[in-house]
Amino acid sequence: MTETLLFEIGTEEIPSAFIDPAVEFMRAYLAKALDGLRLSHGEMKAFSTPRRLAILVRDVPDTMPDTVETKMGPPKAVAFDKDGKPTKAGLGFAANCGVDIGDVTVTTTPKGEYLCVTKTTPGRPAREVLPGILEDMIQKIPFPKTMRWSNPGVRFARPVHWILAIFGAEVLPVSFGSVSSGRFTYGNRFMANVPIAVDHPDAYEETLEKAYVIADPARRKRIVWESLERSAAAVGAVVKDEDLVEEVANLLEYPHPIVGTFDEGYLELPKEVLVTVMKHHQRYFPMYDANDGSRIKNAFGTFSNIVPKSDDVVRSGNERVLKARLDDGKYFFSEDLKVPLSVYADRLREVIFHKDLGTSWEKVERFTRVALALAERLAPEKKEQVREAAYLCKADLNSLMVGELPELQGIMGREYAVRQGIDPEVAAAIREHYLPASADDVLPSGILGDIVGMADRIDTICGCFGVGMVPTGTSDPYALRRQTIAIENVLLGKGYRVSVGWLVDVALEQLAGKLKRDVSEVKAEVVAFFANRFASILQSRGIEGDVIESVLTTFDDPVDTFMRAQALSEVLGEPWFVSICAASKRVENILKKVEACRDVDPSLFAQEEERSLHRAYESVRGAFLAKTRDGAYADALKMLAGLKEPIDTFFDKVLVMSEDEKVRNNRIALLANLLDLFGAMASFSKIST
């Protein structure tokens, strides 16, 4: 017989970002625990609201399966004497198993006849084991932050007020601190905040909905989005900010849509200001013109957690809050426009970037020099624009608007630059040097943003490594991993051929006097850090792990490294390439044991096979290296196909470690040259064949 398990933890309002990871943990933990007890189960469904984390599991057997245990004993010949009477060994085995010697059986194994005892232990009732699992689970739910309250000895994201734990119609005894389980849940805090009995798990959702709680988060999200779309359509608008739905749905138990408006005069503010105020500060959904989705309408969507007596009261309250925010924004915008960006840029002298790395002004000076060095290589004709963009790109950090709304850094700088008549390319770079802000974000549209953004990031990366702030585990306060990947994505996405080693050298040169560690040590760590991050980029693009390892041994130029990885991926299955990789591994193993020079003397060749390999090597060497220098790696690799037969024949017929020292060293030199040739492409020995 099976029953349905329902477990709910009732709390004060949990932060929205904590909720989904918590219920996913509960689902995974409970599934693993049930499997460990050999308790099968059916559908497992998670529920959550700001005040509850719950999980329902169908078709859980009411009894654990019986356990059958077989213990093997001594051989029959040892357990019984020649007269068939049990020996001390036989009697001792039976006693250890808790049975009489007469209950012991004899089984035939490949090694002969042995004593054995098979015991069947009846399965325990599920209701006896489930409480322990649930108590362990509630204590192990991970949260970014936990708190203590009057409930002694326990921590949770927010104070726990009730626990609902029922298996079928029966309450399971579960406790957490001083809170003990029952069959009661609570409805909406404002509309039905009273104990509500749940007679059976199957009635859970329906019972809560009658108490103004939509317990299924997926359904709640659908209600939020669909009601928004209907509300927007009613005022000739559309909604686009679907990324806000999950957060808003996790702030509500019973979403009731409200549409508000604001004065059209606020539409004179930049669109980004309106969107940021509504989305990030008020959790309102901006509404956009149905005929022109790029234009904001003077309307917004929000939600109440209750069904109010009058929507107008709730609407006017939200409109007042938004008006106050927009009034602030209008004032900040007006005041900021009175100050030239160059003045804000100069005020960076008073802003500390980091106690060991100086002011933000010093940082700007440093990465401006790095940007100019990059411009010299990538766009020498734009050096003056690069200089201006670098000088102004952090200016808006001192503006009133960004001080209030930090999310708008760069965005407001561009806006002020445009309105102050600054070169449009420079204005765009002020915004775009922050791009890409994540691994899947867009790249800057222009080269100025590319150059200034890379220069800014490499200064931060090298500076942090130089003063000992190296990312460890989950600790990365300056987001150095993300900034490294951003540089590599720009280089790869735009095809810029830049040496990471050179870029690090330029940045470290500007940091002279600030570093607390040896320069060469810092450079080595930063380049290795770039290589490790680039491995994840290659992996995300479908490159095999062993190929990634092989090309990263000579990592420096990300574009070049990616091209080599692509070319290798195309020939992995070719028979000739398998032979090349095997030869590379064999040569490396030989060279580990000896000192090898690179001077080959053809007159010392004693066998035709080594002459053939040397001729084949010489015939492809020049053209192969020329192809690799030009980045034609696919063509270069195809040239190695001609080496398969002479390499295979050489290793079949030639004894490398000849007794004649000169012959031996000559053969080793030939193999070392061959390995150097392969190394211009990758470390083939690392590729699995």
The answer to whether position 557 is within a domain reads: no
CATH code of the domain covering residue 138: 3.30.70
Longest Cα separation, the chain: 113
Q: Is the peptide bond before 159 cis (omega within 30 degrees of 0)?
A: no
- Residue spans of the chain under pLDDT 50: none
Q: What pLDDT was estimated at residue 467?
A: 95
Q: Are residues 607 and 621 in the same domain?
A: yes
Q: Are residues 172 and 254 in the same domain?
A: no
Q: What pLDDT was estimated at residue 201?
A: 95
At a CB cut-off of 8 Å and minimum separation 6, what does 534 contact?
Answer: 488, 552, 555, 558, 561
Q: Are residues 71 and 83 in the same domain?
A: yes
Q: Are residues 374 and 286 in the same domain?
A: no
Q: What pLDDT was estimated at residue 514?
A: 94
Q: Are residues 93 and 136 in the same domain?
A: no
Q: What pLDDT was estimated at residue 269?
A: 96
Cβ atoms 301, 228 nearer than 8 A? yes
Q: Are residues 96 and 116 in the same domain?
A: yes
Q: What pLDDT was estimated at residue 656?
A: 82
Domain boundary residue among 210, 232, 260?
A: 210
Q: What pLDDT was estimated at residue 545?
A: 93
**CA-to-CA distance for 92 and 88, rounded, in angstroms?**
6
The answer to whether position 615 is within a domain reads: yes
Domain boundary residue among 177, 194, 210?
A: 210
**CA-to-CA distance for 288 and 273, rounded, in angstroms?**
14
Q: Are residues 205 and 223 in the same domain?
A: no
Q: Are residues 534 and 492 in the same domain?
A: yes
Q: Are residues 356 and 496 in the same domain?
A: yes
Q: Quick: pLDDT tens for 349-377.
A: 999 999 999 999 999 999 999 999 999 99
Q: What pLDDT was estimated at residue 206?
A: 96
Q: Helices 447-466 and 500-510: crossing angle, nearest 10°?
A: 70
Which two tokens mark 609?
Answer: 């096979």
Q: What pLDDT was estimated at residue 665?
A: 86
**CA-to-CA distance for 213 and 221, rounded, in angstroms?**
13
The answer to whether position 179 is within a domain reads: yes
CATH code of the domain covering residue 610: 1.10.730
Q: What pLDDT was estimated at residue 126?
A: 85
Q: Are residues 110 and 158 in the same domain?
A: no
Q: Are residues 77 and 114 in the same domain?
A: yes
Q: What pLDDT was estimated at residue 674?
A: 86
Q: For the range 101-107, what are the long-range contacts, defined as Cβ-Cβ under 8 Å and sequence gap of 24 or more?
A: 104/73, 104/79, 106/76, 107/72
The answer to whether position 551 is within a domain reads: no
Q: For the range 137-143, what are the long-range contacts, defined as Cβ-Cβ under 8 Å and sequence gap of 24 or more?
A: 137/26, 137/29, 137/30, 137/33, 138/9, 138/163, 138/174, 138/176, 139/176, 140/25, 140/29, 141/22, 141/25, 141/26, 141/53, 142/21, 142/22, 142/25, 143/18, 143/22
Residue 94, domain extent: 67-121
Which two tokens mark 522?
Answer: 């810092």
The answer to whether position 549 is within a domain reads: no
Q: What pLDDT was estimated at residue 130?
A: 94
Cβ atoms 514, 472 nearer than 8 A? no
The answer to whether position 187 is within a domain reads: yes
Domain boundary residue among 210, 227, 243?
A: 210
Q: How far is CA 553 from CA 565, 581, 681, in A?
A: 12, 15, 10
Q: Are residues 166 and 37 in the same domain?
A: yes
Cβ atoms 188, 254 nearer than 8 A? yes
The answer to whether position 546 is within a domain reads: no
The answer to whether position 497 is within a domain reads: yes
User: What's the total number of domains in the chain?
Assistant: 5
Q: What pLDDT was estimated at residue 36?
A: 87
**CA-to-CA distance for 321 and 326, rounded, in angstroms?**
9
At a CB cut-off of 8 Å and minimum separation 6, what does 626 contact?
Answer: none
